[in-house]
Amino acid sequence: MRLRVCHFNAGAIAAVFVALVSAQASAEDKIIKIGGLLPMSGPGSYFGAQDKQGIELALEEINRVGIAGYKFEVKYEDSSCSPLPATQAAKRLLDQYKPDIVIGEECSDATLAIMPLMAQAKVPLLNAGSSSIRITEPGNPWTFRIMPNEVMQGVDIATHAYSRLNARAAVLLYENTNAGIGNAKVFNETFTKLGGKILADIGFGRDINDFTSIATRIAGVGKIDVIPTYTLEGQGLKITQALAQAGATKGGGGQAIQLGTIWLPFGFEQKAGKAAVGYIRIVQFDPTDQRPLVRNFIDAFKAKYNQEPTHLHAHAYDQIALIADTVKRGAKDADSIRARLAATKTFSGVTGSVEFDKTNQNDKMDTVHYMETLPDLSWRALKWN
Amino acid sequence: MAVVLQQAINGVVLGGLYVLVALGLTLIYGVLVQINFAHADIVTLGAFSAYFFMQSLGGGYIEAIAVAFVVGGMLGWAMNAAIFAPLRAGGNELLPLIATIGVSITMENAMLAWFGPIPYAFDSPYSNDVIRLGAAYITVQNALIVAVSLLTIGLVYVFIKFTFLGKALRAVSQDRETAGLMGINPDQLVMLTFVIASALAGMAGAMLGPVLVLTPFAGTSVIVKAFAIVIIGGFGNFGGTILAGLLVGLIESYTTQYLGPGMIDIVVFVLMLLMLAVRPTGLIAEKRDENV
């Protein structure tokens, strides 16, 4: 009898052990696979480098305990901020890694190129950094965007320039890409409709190095109030310095205020130096935001990387947090993640809040923060939104 | 009128900048009849050498230019000794050309790994000092580029025309085998060409660093124009390269002013195609044996 009891106990223990092991194995197997299509090479590679830091911090925090029994992992592919390498990277991810969701790209041209592949594979794409209106218009059930699109940004910047800065004359400077052309077009339409005038409309390729000639041309067009500029960081630096040297902008003793976008990372002002004084630009993350969520993010980021987080770190962090939020709401695979993303109503991230409209565009404007560069190259939050 | 004058100044500066990069390319082509695709990456490494010499060691900008010159020269020596010379010894002319592509990609990615993708702010002490002459202006850095370009052109010209080594280089470029029979060691002179061309590229990097967007891809963005200049000027033609460099610089400035910067590449490369079609010997037509 005792033996039988012992057998029963041993059997029960074995059964419990097996159950525990299998449960643990099952828990370990429950992974949400995230593909990261980020520019790791080329002129936009600073996006990828910073995005990755934000993603890694979010993964570290979320994977300490997991969400609803799920852990999260990210496989990165270099999409190079350009359509062809982006589609190749997307195919590799979809064929080999078979992700539940993909985050990226940062550059609109690359994002537009990978969208059809995601739709075909029925894998949701969560975008945080591309602004082209074509990404969410007329609507794609598999693509979601956290960041305000070029129309939302362009209308907002043009309206503030006209009403708050009393700007009446502008020169448009933009790279010849989908995003550059699109952003400039929206500014142009809004600003002229309000009564402003565009004195020059200057697009340029990413291979332009010396902006002295462009600055000379701008300095010669007459009195300018604002110069909306849509370009990546490297060219942005040289443009700002060239405009100051030509005496066109406030940083060079002129009148014009340069207006910039979220394309530029934090630290831009320190690199551009005094030429950046008076520069007003929008960022997707306000480091002076006092919400506990933001303060905790900043503290954790500084502890991990010994540096201040930028808006690129922040929006990449939010992408992972939003995916985790869908899992918390019951998502477990590509289809259910897509459904939960579409139903997102009250997500609050470090960049701001998220609620997708019928085109899967986040329609909240609290992710747009206006900052002005002061003479000591620090920032002043303008609190325009 | 002020704008026309200012764009002329901008064009000369830009031309000087291109000439600095294109001189090394044309030297190597003149002697070896070989295109060096890794030239752009030596320019980039020269810029980074100067940057880190100033930032990490506290060196001055003029000394940094010298450092970049030496680093470029050493790199040219190492590349030729380790890769190009053994491949040339094999007798296949295509292999060294392909190897320069391999070296270029390797260097670019190595620099990406070491220096990262985020643009560096390489300001020389002269970047923000502006000399104003009435309505026209030039930064001291740009004036320095023009001065260094002129000095370099003069020194290279004197070296090639009047020194023994320069004459030997010309002899090798004209007929390598005959030069060898005359007691000249062609391999050593090829090595010298690589060292000089790479040193010039390194120095160009230090000059360009404060002007360009300094990333591991900085040189690549200039090299395409430099190739166009070498073709327009006539491959291996020293005077043609200088003339073409200035021409392209001026074309860029005036195209920006009157047509828009988006038209620059169209204008420059249409000119290059026209030269290839109409005058393939380049702006200054010389017999091949007079090049370099």
ipTM: 0.80
Residues of B whose CB is below 8 A from A222 = none
Give how far A146 is from chain B: nearest CA, Å.
24
* Identity of the amino acid at A307: Q
Residues B153, B242 contacting (CB under 8 angstroms):
yes
A49 lies within 8 A of chain B by CB: yes
The whole-number pLDDT of residue B185 equals 85
What is the arithmetic mean of pLDDT over A76-102?
A: 95
Domain made up of A151-283+369-381: CATH architecture: 3-Layer(aba) Sandwich (3.40)
With bands split at pLDDT 50, 70 and 90, how would you rate the model's confidence at A234?
confident
On the question of pLDDT at A94 being above 60, the answer is yes
Q: Greater confidence, A385 or A84?
A: A84
The whole-number pLDDT of residue A18 equals 46
Nearest C-alpha in A relative to B223: A207
Q: Quick check: A217 and B3 CB within 8 A?
A: yes
Q: Which helix (H) or strand (E) holds A69?
A: none
The whole-number pLDDT of residue A207 equals 80
On the question of pLDDT at A115 being above 50, the answer is yes
With bands split at pLDDT 50, 70 and 90, how would you rate the model's confidence at B218?
confident
Strands A143-145 and A353-354: unpaired
Query: What CATH number should be reported for the domain whose range is A28-147+289-354?
Result: 3.40.50.2300
Domain count, chain B: 1
Residues 6+ apart with CB under 8 A from B164: none
What is the arithmetic mean of pLDDT over B218-246?
A: 87
Point out which residues pair with A202 in neighbouring strands: A173
Hey, is B57 helix, strand or coil? helix
With bands split at pLDDT 50, 70 and 90, how would you rate the model's confidence at A218?
very high
Cis-peptide, bond into residue A99, ω within 30° of zero: no
What is the arithmetic mean of pLDDT over B208-222?
A: 85
Residues 6+ apart with CB under 8 A from A19: none
Of B24, B19, B21, give the one whose Cα is nearest residue B194: B24
The whole-number pLDDT of residue A267 equals 81
Q: Which of A40, A42, A216 comes nearest B10 by C-beta? A: A216
Query: Chain B interface, mutation test: which of A210, A235, A263, A269, most B Cβ atoms within 10 Å?
Result: A210
CATH of the domain at B46: 1.10.3470
Domain hosting residue B103, numbered range: 2-290
Residues of A whose CB is below 8 A from B3 = 216-217, 220
On the question of pLDDT at B290 being above 70, the answer is no
What is the arithmetic mean of pLDDT over A177-185?
A: 89
Q: CB A56: neighbour CB atoms within 10 A?
A: 17
* Token code pair at residue A232: 């990546």
Nearest C-alpha in A relative to B219: A209
Strands A226-230 and A257-260: parallel
On the question of pLDDT at A3 being above 60, the answer is no
Alpha carbon distance B110, B45 (integer Å): 11
Query: Chain B interface, mutation test: which of A213, A238, A377, most B Cβ atoms within 10 Å?
Result: A213
Q: What is the dihedral of CA B60, B61, B62, B66, to 10 degrees?
A: 100
The pLDDT tens digits for B47-96 are: 999 999 999 999 999 999 999 999 999 999 999 999 988 988 887 778 88
The whole-number pLDDT of residue B286 equals 60
Nearest C-alpha in B relative to A265: B118
Of A210, A203, A283, give the one whose Cα is nearest residue A243: A210
The pLDDT tens digits for A56-69 are: 999 999 999 999 99
Alpha carbon distance B252, B249 (integer Å): 5
With bands split at pLDDT 50, 70 and 90, how would you rate the model's confidence at B285?
low
Residues B159, B192 contacting (CB under 8 angstroms):
no
A217 lies within 8 A of chain B by CB: yes
Q: b/e for A134-146, b at 16 or more Cβ within 10 A? A: bbbeeebebbbbb
What is the arithmetic mean of pLDDT over B6-19?
A: 92
Nearest C-alpha in A relative to B250: A213
* Token code pair at residue A360: 């899967």
The whole-number pLDDT of residue A23 equals 46
Q: Which of A249-253, B81-85, B126-130 has the lowest mean pLDDT?
A: B126-130
What is the arithmetic mean of pLDDT over A88-116?
A: 95
The pLDDT tens digits for A25-53 are: 444 559 999 999 999 887 788 899 999 99
Q: Quick check: B213 and A238 CB within 8 A?
A: yes
**Window 90-129 of B, Cβ < 8 Å to A:** 109, 112, 116-121, 123, 127-128
Nearest C-alpha in A relative to B216: A42
**Window 151-210 of A, Cβ < 8 Å to B:** 176, 202-205, 207-210
Domains A28-147+289-354 and A151-283+369-381 fall in the same CATH topology: yes
Residues B291, B46 contacting (CB under 8 angstroms):
no
Alpha carbon distance A336, A124 (integer Å): 10
* Identity of the amino acid at B72: G
Q: Which of B118, B137, B212 comes nearest A209 by C-beta? A: B212
Residue A374: phi, psi to the nearest 5?
Answer: -90, 165
B268 lies within 8 A of chain A by CB: no
Give, in degrees to the nearest 5, the angle at Cα A229 between A225 and A233.
Answer: 140
Q: Greater confidence, B210 or B286?
A: B210
B252 lies within 8 A of chain A by CB: yes
The whole-number pLDDT of residue A6 equals 44
Helix axes B94-115, B39-57, angle to 10 degrees: 30
Residues A239, A260 contacting (CB under 8 angstroms):
no
- The whole-chain average pLDDT of chain A stands at 89
Q: Quick check: B3 and A274 CB within 8 A?
A: no
On the question of pLDDT at B287 being above 70, the answer is no
Q: Is B134 exposed, middle or buried (0-12, 13-18, 19+ CB in 10 A)?
A: exposed
For chain B, give the percent of residues with pLDDT over 70.
97
- The whole-chain average pLDDT of chain B stands at 88
A237 lies within 8 A of chain B by CB: yes
- Integer-rounded Cα radius of gyration of chain B: 19
Residues of A whose CB is below 8 A from B118 = 45-46, 49-50, 233, 265
The answer to whether the Cα torsion of A322, A327, A332, A338 is positive or negative is negative
List helix spans (H) across chain B.
2-32, 39-57, 61-79, 85-89, 94-115, 140-162, 164-174, 176-181, 186-208, 218-233, 238-258, 264-278
Where are the domains positioned within chain A?
A: 28-147+289-354, 151-283+369-381
